[in-house]
Chain A
């Protein structure tokens, strides 16, 4: 197996296996090494002990043999030697020699093994000498028998090595068994240790996986048996550590523990807590510290995530709100960066130019507008970015649906450093405002015109009355037919003038009006009866769609009838020959009564619609109308707090039952009069 594959195999092993195998290998190696060494040492010690024992036996015997040797008491010598020999079963021989080498006593029977006399003769040599005999290995001890300075003889003792070897073998077997036992116990302990360590590491890993999965409610550290408030008998519920069973108090900042140094900026600085009974009780090893730190990290991350989530929700809510506003607002809002590329555009803007909102980001004016317009915008925008001055302007352009007006405001956008980072544009469609402005101008013009006409008519009315009065007086006195005929012409034209003056007064509300309860439908029918015959001569049919439930209104019946009459005549003039006029009345719950008079005539061109109610405006041939009918009607309706408007072509709903029997059927015009019911007063 190559070095790298072995390394790979080692890396791929589980941590628990690594610990167990590693510790087991170390135990086996160290156990075998120490066991072998100790066995060798003890074997040597046993051997040395055996040698010392042999030496002691020999020396003791030599001491005890002094007296018998001095006395040359062979019997005592023999007895001493025999007694020793019989006492120990591992003694192979003992014999005694004198200084001349005579064997004075020995234990052998059947002769003496003289080979023994040839070896180990000098006791000054290292003792014992190992001999190899037929009875196995023998340690031969030679000890001199010395008295004072004089050597009396020597004792030789043969000690069988077999017994020592047996003891050594027993000792080695015991050493081996003990070593194996210790190694086995060590392996079991290594297994337990590995399991204990990896169990906690696995718990850390599983907890970390749970954290990665997003579960921040796991508790990695071991729950405490006794918490700090239990140990310290603390009842300070304001302390952040009180009740916190997940985190160790020394990791918490701002605890009120008197053991904890005050003003600790770093909550992880636990030096001041190391003598605290809580620390001594609850502190653990590095793995526990890691688990506790992870717990703290988990709690902190969870709190931060909750804060971020809450902020995200707030931001999303604000974004949604902003987006809703941006989507709903009819104004155009855009944000361009310093390169004038669009970073944002409101829905109204995108819809107006027919561009998708997402596609809008990154585009420039050159992608949206014409080259000329884009160039104009570019220089204008650059000017703003360079000068920092905002711009407000109104522009108008024509679109298929009419003239459009936009009010544009461009302001520079500053970043946190005070530099210009972009350009904000807001644009509002003020076409309606412009229309209303024009209408306001028209109304003001009408007001002024009415006031002028009223003043003129009032001033003319008196001399005209005198002219007419004197004319009629002259007619009574003059009999000349020719002169009378001329006076009649004067009278007729004076009456025409009086009519015009009366109309001008009516337009300017300068005439007297009578306030009474008016049945609208009745007034309508009376007018129809008045003109029906004359109109029918032109082939024009009047269709009445009168709501019988229409409530009465308060007003001047005659003047209202004048309005209806004007409208019917106007309709008949618009039709000319053969057509329908539909007269409708209805009302709604809000108390507004609506009267519409629609004709199937040629209709009014759009550019004339705004001028219909102007005094003296007419599209009729010269001599056919004065151009005061609709303006007088406008004045009467206004006097009744109502409104009058004209639409052309007339919407279909106003001509639902106006099927023309054979006449022309134009786009038609409808005049709609809205009057309040039960009016309390008419100004």
Chain B
């Protein structure tokens, strides 16, 4: 009996020890020892901006390898910056906060017209073309929209008024089919995000949407893209373009262009990884004349706006 009591006491003592165990030792820190602090200015570098058609995170993920490659290849300090909107992108370019702009041809035309931006190179899309197209999409179960004409009277969600594939190309297409902005029930912009356009159509919030060709792949892991049907595709226009600020030294421009053109998607795995992340497969040299069709389109759009 006494032995049993001893065992019980030992067990209880062990339980108490286990219960009271404390293995954390705090470090003494004073919250009262305050100082005014300032942020140190970053090192000077060439700024690289991707027209914010995606989130900053997506933009970063797409271009950080390319930015690092260009900096390494050219030996120039290059830093990616993230404007929030197209307008901010244009504005920042104008303010000199963006030295290298990767934008769609409309923005480029605007930048070129307003701030003297010069085309440096065009990207080659994954389909091997240096042009790109816009697409009109609707839900697959939306039987009311089978052709461009069926979009009349419907709710349209577009990427941005400045978006080439996501707005302007389809707008020109509608113009060719005799549809003006007044022929739609409404035209809503998704804040520059291709994903938002697709999600707006997918959720049924809007009857159809306009996106850049290839944007559906971006969301294929998020939604069932089989529920989305492509109504039609616009004619090809010159694709996205790298432009540089007139303030950028020509030697630096040359280095950067050379580094871009050096990227070999087919034979260099590292280059392939860089280009895969950026969602294109290479570069072709480009100059400002390549974008005359865009200027023509812009004219149409302006006319439409009037």
Contacts and interface: CB of A to CB of B under 8 A. Distances in A.
Contacts of A36: 12, 15-16, 18-19
A67 B34 contact: no
Given A115-B33, A148-B64, A40 B18 contact: yes
Contact of A33 (B11, B26, B31): B11
Contact of B39 (A67, A92, A104, A140): A104
A554 B61 CA distance: 175
Interface stretch (B52-60, B117-125, B153-161): B52-60
A113 B26 contact: no
Contacts of B59: 70
Contacts of A148: 60-61, 64
Contact of A70 (B15, B21, B60): B60
A421 interface: no
A398 interface: no
Contacts of B20: 40
Given A36-B19, A131-B29, A132-B28, A66 B35 contact: no
A102 B39 contact: yes
Nearest to A22: B1
B27 A131 contact: yes
B64 A150 contact: yes
Contacts of A10: 1
A92 B32 CA distance: 13
B141 interface: no
Interface string A76-103: 0000000000000000110000101011
A7 B2 CA distance: 9
Interface in B27-52: 27-37, 39-40
B11 to A, nearest CB: 6
Contacts, number: 118
Nearest to B1: A10
B15 A137 contact: no
Given A40-B18, A133-B29, A67 B57 contact: yes
Contacts of B306: none
A67 B193 CA distance: 14
A216 to B, nearest CB: 38
Contacts of B56: 66-67, 70-71
B29 A116 contact: yes
Nearest to B36: A111
Given A131-B26, A131-B27, A134-B30, A112 B57 contact: no
Contacts of A137: 26
A7 B82 contact: no
B82 A71 contact: yes
B57 A115 contact: no
Contact of B21 (A34, A40, A72, A133): A40
Contacts of B218: none
Contact of A113 (B12, B16, B27, B31): B31
A153 B24 CA distance: 27
A40 B22 CA distance: 10
B57 A70 contact: yes
A130 B27 contact: yes
A113 B30 contact: yes
Interface in A157-215: none
Contacts of A71: 56, 81-84
A89 B35 CA distance: 24
Contact of A134 (B31, B60, B83, B84): B31
B25 interface: yes
Contacts of A93: 31
Interface magnitude class on chain B: 35 or more
B18 A114 contact: no
Nearest to B32: A134
Nearest to B88: A71
Contacts of A32: 12, 15
A470 interface: no
B284 interface: no
A6 B146 CA distance: 98
Interface in A111-125: 111-116, 119
A40 B12 contact: no
B8 interface: yes
B40 A102 contact: yes
Nearest to B12: A33
B187 to A, nearest CB: 27
B218 to A, nearest CB: 16
Nearest to B40: A102
Contacts of A115: 29-31, 33
A662 interface: no
A134 B31 CA distance: 7
Interface in A5-32: 6-7, 10, 25, 29, 32
A609 interface: no
Contacts of B1: 7, 10
Contacts of B81: 71-72
A112 B33 CA distance: 8
Interface in A32-60: 32-34, 36-37, 39-40, 43
Given A6-B2, A36-B15, A102-B40, A133 B30 contact: yes
A411 interface: no
Contact of B11 (A29, A108, A113, A134): A29
B39 A130 contact: no
A140 B26 CA distance: 10
A204 B81 CA distance: 95
B12 A112 contact: no
A3 interface: yes
Interface in B122-143: none
Contacts of B11: 29, 33
B40 A114 contact: no
Given A33-B11, A150-B64, A112 B36 contact: yes
A114 B64 contact: no
Contact of A114 (B19, B33, B39): B33
A29 B24 CA distance: 29
Given A66-B57, A134-B30, A135-B31, A29 B39 contact: no
Contacts of B82: 67, 70-72
Nearest to A66: B57
A67 B20 CA distance: 45
A1 B47 CA distance: 90
A394 B271 CA distance: 155
Looking at B28, B29, B36, B59, the one whose CB has the most chain A CB atoms below 10 A away is B29
Looking at B12, B26, B59, the one whose CB has the most chain A CB atoms below 10 A away is B26
B32 A132 contact: no
A33 B8 CA distance: 9
Nearest to B20: A40
A82 to B, nearest CB: 17
Contacts of B24: 130
A519 interface: no
A230 interface: no
B82 to A, nearest CB: 4
A39 B19 contact: yes
Contacts of B31: 92-93, 113, 115-116, 133-135
B19 to A, nearest CB: 4
Contacts of A73: 84
Contact of B40 (A100, A110, A140): A100
B10 to A, nearest CB: 11
Contacts of B84: 71, 73
Nearest to B5: A25
13 contacts: A33-B15, A37-B19, A40-B19, A67-B57, A102-B40, A103-B37, A103-B39, A104-B39, A108-B34, A112-B35, A113-B32, A119-B27, A132-B27
Given A113-B29, A148-B61, 14 more contacts: A33-B12, A37-B19, A92-B31, A93-B31, A102-B39, A112-B34, A114-B35, A129-B27, A130-B26, A131-B26, A131-B27, A138-B29, A147-B60, A147-B64
Q: Which 5 A-B pairs have the closest CB atoms?
A: A111-B34, A40-B19, A132-B26, A36-B19, A33-B15
Interface of B: 1-2, 8, 11-12, 15-16, 18-21, 24-37, 39-40, 55-57, 59-61, 64, 80-84
